[in-house]
Structure 1
Amino acid sequence: MLTEQRRRAYLSAMQVVHWLPRAELPFAAPSRPELLLPLAPPEDIDFEPPPRQIADKSPVAPQARVVERPKIEVPRPGVSAKAAAKPVEAPEQAATPRPVPVPPPRFALQLLRAGDCLLLVELATGQPFQSRDPSYLLLKDMLRAAGLPDAPQIVGEPVRWPLLMRGNMDQGPDAARDFVQGFVQARLEEAPCTCLWLVGTPALRFAAGADDQAYYQTLKLDGLGEAWALPGLELLMDEPQRKADVWKAMRQLMARWKPVE
């Protein structure tokens, strides 16, 4: 049960100045007679209709006779005055949600040189080429058919992305593209080439900003010169019918790195 002191504290928190109990309250102070007089409702306040009288079986003392009064909406209990006075944030002042970070792409590329051509080749397994790898043997066959040396020279270490497994450095697609293009451009400045082969979708995407729709086509790239887009070696082994398209495009380009006999 509530004591009179605690009851008055709750009413003060709800900003209730005058109130009347519906039944006799234990430990309550006696009611003041002037509070039992009916009050005229103010004209500028909307009142709710009086609730239906519900029979109450509790004994009622004569001095605590119930007087119907219109209800005035008051703040809910537990809401502090500071919280109620807090201004509502305008939509333009609302905090802008942070963009969701794009996960870094994962790929491995190997740069090789064969005659007057540079080859940026996707490493499907992420590991360097081995002399008996089927994909490497296919690449040697392609170079032999193109009239280029079939023992390409490896240029530098494979480019593996992401560079760091931890840290706050930006390693998204744009950063990967800048890194790959800068890496190839630096090798071209050391030793220019006639044509740059881009073998595999990661090589196309991060060196030329293209996708698989550019297969078998030649692309002119700023800072990288002329490039030839090719499917990945694994894809050529899985879909041998693509080799015919590679050979058809190769015959039109061979004059750029091999004089026509």
Structure 2
Amino acid sequence: MSVDVHAQEVRRQAMLQVMQLDVWLPRQNLPFAAASRDYLLDWACEPAQREPVEQEQISRQNDAEVGVARGQQAQNQLQQIRQSLSAGQAATAAPVAAETQPPAEAVTPEAPTPAQEIPRFALQIMRSASCLLLLDLPVAEPLQSRDPEYLLLKDILRAAKLPHEPSLLRNVEPIRWPVLSAGNLAHRQDSQAARAYVRELLSMECAQQPTSMIWLLGENAVRFANVSDEFADDFGITAFEHEWQLWSLPSLEQLLQYPTLKRQLWQSMQLRMPRWLNND
């Protein structure tokens, strides 16, 4: 083997080793393959050839580790200096702050005001002679002539010796609450506002014609026509305005479901009947 070929092979293997590629050399001719060169078959690996490369890599790695250690040490020293400076500034600023700033007063956090519930109901105003009727509408629509509740109401008026065909007021338009569905004042439509609205409408209707008594049929009618929720006893009498009185009764729907309430209604009616009969 010539010196040039050997030198080229050594250089080639060195380059492959630098690239961390393993060098494979044939030990014998392989079947069905091109014949290997004689100098490759007789090649003797020299381990010392890789030592400079490995030594260089190890040296670079050690230098890098030393550099990292020194950088970490310098960073730790810088951090300690910063902490000492910060502690010194805080120690000198604390007495000044204590002298210049008055002690802060303890502030008690205010409890959030609970949002008031907005009631939802529909009421119908009717008139029969000197009696004004305010009754609940479960479906928020005016009663129809064929509704069982309306037929029962006619029977009650007939038993009370009043015109059994009541006149629908407000152009047959029910009182619906809440009035506003959006806007800045929508959240203020609480029970107090609803009560003031219903009582004002009743007062206006009573002033239109002579009124002896106001019938309240249903829970919402009783609740929002009276001055407060405390006046909610069935078949009871409470004062309204001037000489007008409120008569609290179950709803027409309850009278249909519970026949025993009709007997109580008749007994209470016999006590109240002279008031509207004498006025008529």
What is the TM-score of this pair, normalised by structure 1? Answer: 0.66
1:90-135 deviation per Cα after TM superposition (whole angstroms, max 9, x unaligned):
44x3442331211200110011000110001111111111011111
Residue of structure 2 equivalent to 1:166: 182
Residue 118 of structure 1 aligns to a residue in which SS?
Answer: strand
Q: Identity of aligned pairs, percent?
A: 35
2:231–2:238: 8 Å Cα contact kept in structure 1?
A: no
Residue of structure 2 equivalent to 1:175: 193
Corresponding residue pairs, total: 197
Residue 258 of structure 1 aligns to a residue in which SS?
Answer: helix
Which of 68, 74, 89 aligns to 1:4? It is: 74
Residue of structure 1 equivalent to 2:247: 228
Distance 1:9 1:246, change over 3 A: same
Distance 1:7 1:182, change over 3 A: farther
| Cα separation, 1, equivalents of 2:183 and 2:80 | 54
Matched, 1:134 2:148: yes
Which has the larger Rg?
2
Q: What's the CA shift for 1:13?
A: 5.3
1:148-207 deviation per Cα after TM superposition (whole angstroms, max 9, x unaligned):
111101111211111112223110101101111111111112223000001111011111
Instruction: Kindly provide the amino acid, as one letter, of the partner of residue 12 in structure 1.
Output: R
Q: Higher mean Cα deviation, 182-191 or 108-117?
A: 182-191
| Cα separation, 2, equivalents of 1:134 and 1:144 | 15
Residue of structure 2 equivalent to 1:111: 125
| Cα separation, 2, equivalents of 1:245 and 1:6 | 93
Q: What's the CA shift for 1:235?
A: 1.1
| Cα separation, 1, equivalents of 2:77 and 2:263 | 92
Q: What's the CA shift for 1:16?
A: 6.2
Residue of structure 2 equivalent to 1:120: 134
Q: What's the CA shift for 1:225?
A: 1.7
Q: What's the CA shift for 1:213?
A: 4.6
Gaps of 5+ in 1: 19-73, 75-80
Matched, 1:248 2:267: yes
Instruction: Kindly provide the amino acid, as one letter, of the partner of residue 125 in structure 2.
Output: L
Instruction: Kindly provide the amino acid, as one letter, of the partner of residue 242 in structure 1.
Output: L
Gaps of 5+ in 2: 1-67
What is the TM-score of this pair, normalised by structure 2? Answer: 0.62
Instruction: Kindly provide the amino acid, as one letter, of the partner of residue 179 in structure 1.
Output: Y
1:69-218 to structure 2, matched below 5 A, reads 90-91=105-106, 93-156=107-170, 157-169=173-185, 170-208=188-226, 209-210=228-229, 213-218=232-237
1:63-113 deviation per Cα after TM superposition (whole angstroms, max 9, x unaligned):
xxxxxxxxxxx9xxxxxx9xxx9999644x344233121120011001100
- Provide the aligned C-alpha RMSD in A: 3.1
